[in-house]
Amino acid sequence: MKTINLVLGIHNHQPVGNFDHVFEQAFSRAYQPFLNLLAKYPSVKITQHYSGCLLEWLQSRHPDFIGQLRRLVASGQVEIMGGAHYEAILSIIPDEDKAAQLHKLSRMIKSRFGTLPTGMWLAERVWEQHLAKHIADAGLRYTVVDDTHFKYAGFSEEELLGYYVTEEEGRTIAVFPISKRLRYTIPFQPVSQTIDALREVATEEGNQIAVYADDGEKFGIWPGTYDHVYTNGWLEEFFRALSDNADWIRILRFQDVLESIPPLGLTYLPDASYAEMLHWALPSHHFPLYEEFEHLLQNQGIRDKYESFFKGGFWRNFLAKYPESNLMHKKMLRVSERVRTTLAKGKKRITRSKAERLRASLFAGQCNDAYWHGVFGGLYLPVLRFPIYRNLIDAEKQLDALEQRKKLTVSVMDLDADGQDEVIVESPVLNCYFKPGEGASLVELDFKPASLNLLDIVSRREEGYHAKLKNAATDAGRGGVSSIHDIVRAKEANLERYLVYDPYRRASLIDHFFAPGTTLEQAWSCTSGEAGDFVGRPYDVKTRANGSLAIISFFRRGLVHHDQRNFRVFLRKNVTVDFKKGALAVDYIIRNEEEDPLPLCFGVEFNVGLQAGNAPDRYYYADSIPLDDRKLSSRGELLNLSAIGLRDEWLGVDVRIEVDTPATVWRFPIEVVSLSETGFERIFQSSVVIPHWHTTLHKEWRVGLRHVVKTIRTQ
């Protein structure tokens, strides 16, 4: 009889800081019903991976589930797979953190289930060859990646019915290829298709291996899957079919394969992730070209034949594609270096519990989901970025205490590795990251009492998938048969109106010289243009600090266009960071270096990221002026205003922007249009506040502003 060895792997994960109700829904609709059904079919063996952050939640909220899983492990029906505890992309975190994350989850598995893991789940299947050494050094013997990785190395379909060995510096691990065909049939196609696929690769020798490994959320969380998998009985039918065909489908765990079947040989795999991820990693202008080429090959019927040569981008380029991701990543690296240095210096005086708490905060800040964007990536989701910054800032607060830091420091360095220096002010209350090369803007403002980065925002930029929304709207406008809702799924009508792209990175202390007649609507839509050449352009900088205060002086000579003429203008802004008051004082001097007077409209842009645009406990307020619409997502213009505030009662934070010369103040939201598995949606990022003044500049004009952050009491 022809037989086949089948390995089944399930990966379960929820991002650090995700909503509790999302964890609960995943548990009740996927994790628990899957395990309940599996227990009814003891002949079906399976390997399961749970990220450490998910295991912690399960242990806290559903300890009975952990007990049930422990019994299945003890019976031999379930193998538990290891990995990075907080589901980090291993290749982009420091080597010491790689080892620590892997060991942390292995120890947790040993504690909860009485056995050490044999292998590991690779977050987002992001493979780089040097990882083999770190995986082996952590005592793990295997990992799993897509068969796509192998095909990029030149393997044929027939050569992927087994596993291979790879090495780095002589440290070896086994690498299993996940069958794309099985990923697409399980659980989406009739059970018979999976059984037929297995029958096709069964042999008389019975030494071939088919590997299925994929996300557990596909069994109940993905749209429509709960009814399909459980209510309509797909999963039980699948388990029953495997049991009924046990005479020729031999179900093994990964650890069983290593003990009973030899590898097919040695290989070295190229840097890769799953195919969709590599598509998402491409620059936006290459995104549609990739799709066009793919469709061309498919239409010619040669897509499968040449797929090993058809590859998208490289995962790390998410850091180049999104400066917000890059800054978050480089902050993580800076915190990691401080952790290593501080713990090394304080071995004798830092308790084990304090060291573990510090590392846990750092490692939680390495959770991968918020560092990239695709249909499933969370960079555009404030709820996923927020806990990354919260954990990293918490780690900084712990470091400040361990290092007994009580003063303010100023550093000039190329933190984000873009070839230009940043100015970094760090204190017990505020961290400020300035970019002199990008208009002397403030790109990060950490308010440590709330562990909050007030500039944790993402700018509006074009995504390759936006073309689908634009084309659908155009087709509908022409009276075509299909409307936008027939072609694409959207969570609200007319979303294409919000496809506005920022010509510069949204931040604070952005110096605008607006064109005459610029309106609030034009400021929101970025359609007015700049009369000056200051936004995004390099400034010179001088710094000084004296313990509790830092003064950073930015200055630039530029041009302001007026009446078909360019005026030479000198601008200086002195930023005083006073961490004891939780305030930034900004003093502007603007000098006209021409003889003729210059009419101008000058404004200073602030962005405040308070997570939610329509929550009733997060709102604008203006001293002595009632606001018709207080929501943080509201738009409006206020005249002759000296102060405006934004309040977040959930976080207990109040943010005020004050001016010493009454101004006209615009406010509007930054909202991106993103695509997820449930369709297109609008996601709030920040509230923009722009106080601005109309004046005629003869020689010199001055204005002062204060940006104050404080905690408030909440009930």
Short-list 600, 618, 596, 621, CA closest to 609 = 618
The catalytic residue among 87, 124, 511, 671 is 124
DSSP per-residue codes, 563-579: TTEEEEEEEEEEEEEET
> Quick check: is 418 catalytic?
no
Short-list 304, 514, 284, 538, CA closest to 420 = 538
First to last CA, the chain: 71
For residue 246, is it left (φ>0), alpha (ψ between -120 and 50) or beta?
Answer: alpha
Contact (CB, 8 A) for 536 and 437: no
Residue 229: Cβ-neighbour burial (10 angstroms; 0-12, 13-18, 19+): buried
Distances in Å between the alpha carbon of 674 and those of 35, 459, 489, 662?
A: 33, 12, 12, 37
> Quick check: is 215 catalytic?
yes
Distances in Å between the alpha carbon of 547 and those of 191, 201, 544, 636?
A: 69, 71, 10, 40
The catalytic residue among 215, 237, 533, 587 is 215
Contact (CB, 8 A) for 220 and 229: yes
Report the run of H or E that residue 544 belongs to, with start and end: strand 540-545
Distances in Å between the alpha carbon of 705 and those of 44, 183, 306, 353, 644?
A: 67, 57, 60, 44, 11
> How far is it, in rounded angstroms, from Cα 67 to Cα 305?
47
Residue type, 201: V
CA 623 from chain centre, in angstroms, equals 37
Residue type, 101: Q
Task: Give strand pairing partners of 252.
Answer: 7
Catalytic residues: 124, 215
